[in-house]
């Protein structure tokens, strides 16, 4: 007996999911009736994961309880500042050293940074000012430094960040200090020279710029918005890929994202966090001209950090307008055995055509060699100001710059191997060719 066209055969029994959750997972978001076969032992493994998560949650609650006890002890001792960055740094180093081979080191830092941030909020919420608005690289650096649980205050200018810390509206401030491609941030340097705050900590953040746009093709982009620093760090990429687009400077990369959000023919150069906040697609990632592009951020405070054995000191000094004055100061530092890692000149605001120098030294101001060097410099320079001693940031290792994503083509089938061609016989001698009949043309 023939089957009718379209008639269904006997129904096959679907393999049962190991748990109700598995069945729901298999049916969610699919239009196909076929399901993957049950995996032996999967349900048991998931139960163990759930038990471990419950245990982790219990331990976190216990850790928060200990943090409350610490807060009471600190309050009883009238400690003015609850936050202890050096203690946090030692804890993170110990945990990375202990578990780095079993769990990714960067993930250990990220996870326990948030754990410590949450526990600190139980003790006393940490107030941090940063150069805003929301969605900038400075905000990203602040989150990496203090976690998500700190109380953040965005400031419109670098000067406003200094004012927030000086007026005690914030315990710390986070501002950009220098970029590996474009150099020093002059507004930060000038504020450190003129104000009373010091550098408490530094953080080096790899800067990966993204082109954010709703335009379906690069050829449809007519305007590119961004901060002058970001535009400078991507100038070669813009010249190559968007040579006809108008470039418009904005006060921040986040402001650029806001401008591009309302124009389908515009784009912004900003961080991926700005794409997430403003709901903009990433048209191209990693468009910075240098793969090792990074920005050094500094944490501002009223007091600098104690010595750790791996420190940096930033000082400022001025010299008289005399021949060899700068060389004599640098010679003093060399004779003291102190290594200079950076030098920057800034105009003296009180005397025209005179300059002030900012210098980074290896070591802490309390180290014997650095202390001797500072004492000797004070005798040769017009003035010396210590802008802070703080732990050196970890050395930055830049990843290779990835190529733009391309559609993956299906692999071509291998062609059958051709048989080797037979070698041609050697051409006849000239006399033989003359005797042979000519071919028709």
Catalytic residues, which ones?
295, 297
- The answer to whether 17 touches 38, Cβ cutoff 8 Å, is yes
In contact, 85 and 201? CB cutoff 8 Å: yes
The string of DSSP codes covering 159-198 is: HHHHHHHHTTS-SEEEEEEEETTTEE-HHHHHHHHHSS-E
Task: Give me the phi and psi of 142, to 5 degrees please.
Answer: -60, -40
Three-class SS state of 64: helix
Q: Are 310 and 204 in contact (CB under 8 A)?
A: no
How far apart are alpha carbons 62 and 426 in whole angstroms?
91
Asked whether the beta carbons of 221 and 186 are under 8 A apart, the reply is: no
Distance CA 182, CA 406 (A): 30
Neighbours of 121 (CB within 10 A): 17
Cis peptide bond prior to 96, omega within 30° of 0: no
Task: Give one word for 353, left, alpha or beta, with left for phi > 0 and alpha for psi -120 to 50.
Answer: left
CA distances from 247 to 216, 268, 285 (A): 19, 10, 18
The Cα–Cα gap between 36 and 296 comes to: 50
> Rounded to whole angstroms, what are the CA distances from 187 to 106, 128, 266, 345?
32, 19, 29, 13
Task: Give the closest residue to 175 by CA, choosing from 342, 301, 340, 291.
Answer: 301
β-strand pairing of 183-184 with 172-179: antiparallel
């Amino acid at each position: 007996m023939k089957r009718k066209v379209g008639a269904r055969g006997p129904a096959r029994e679907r393999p049962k999911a190991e748990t109700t959750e598995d069945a729901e997972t298999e049916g969610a978001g699919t239009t196909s009736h076929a399901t993957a076969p049950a995996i032996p032992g999967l349900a048991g493994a998931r139960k163990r994961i759930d038990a471990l998560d419950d245990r982790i949650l219990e331990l976190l609650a216990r850790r928060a309880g200990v943090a409350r006890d610490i807060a009471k002890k600190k309050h009883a001792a009238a400690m003015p500042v609850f936050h202890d960055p050096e203690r946090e740094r030692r804890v993170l180093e110990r945990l990375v050293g202990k578990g780095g081979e079993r769990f990714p080191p960067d993930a250990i830092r990220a996870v326990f940074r948030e754990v410590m941030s949450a526990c600190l909020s139980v003790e006393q919420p940490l107030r941090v000012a940063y150069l805003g608005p929301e969605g900038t690289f400075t905000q990203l650096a602040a989150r990496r430094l203090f976690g998500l649980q700190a109380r953040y205050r965005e400031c419109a200018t670098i000067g406003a960040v200094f004012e927030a810390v000086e007026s005690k509206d914030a315990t710390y401030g986070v501002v950009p200090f220098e970029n590996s491609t474009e150099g020093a941030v002059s507004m930060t340097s000038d504020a450190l020279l003129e104000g009373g705050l010091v550098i408490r900590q530094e953080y080096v953040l790899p800067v990966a710029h993204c082109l954010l746009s709703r335009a379906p093709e690069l050829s449809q982009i007519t305007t590119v918005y961004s901060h002058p620093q970001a535009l400078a760090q991507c100038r070669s990429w813009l010249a190559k890929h968007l040579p006809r687009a108008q470039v418009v400077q904005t006060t921040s990369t986040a402001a650029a994202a806001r401008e591009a959000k309302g124009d389908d023919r515009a784009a912004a150069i900003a961080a991926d966090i700005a794409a997430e906040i403003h709901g903009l697609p990433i048209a191209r990632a990693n468009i910075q001209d240098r793969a090792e592009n990074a920005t050094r951020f500094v944490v501002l405070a009223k007091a600098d950090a104690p010595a750790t054995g791996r420190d940096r000191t930033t000082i400022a000094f001025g010299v008289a307008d005399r021949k060899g004055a700068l060389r004599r100061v640098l010679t003093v530092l060399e004779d003291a055995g102190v290594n200079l890692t950076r030098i920057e000149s800034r105009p003296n605001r009180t005397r025209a055509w005179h300059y002030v120098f900012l210098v980074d030294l290896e070591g802490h101001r309390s180290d014997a060699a650095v202390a001797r060097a500072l004492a000797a410099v004070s005798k040769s320079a017009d003035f010396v100001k210590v802008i802070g001693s703080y732990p050196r940031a970890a050395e930055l290792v830049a990843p290779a710059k990835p190529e733009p994503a391309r559609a993956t083509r299906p692999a071509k089938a291998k062609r059958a191997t051709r048989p080797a061609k037979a070698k041609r016989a050697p051409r006849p001698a000239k006399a033989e060719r003359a005797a042979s009949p000519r071919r028709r043309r």
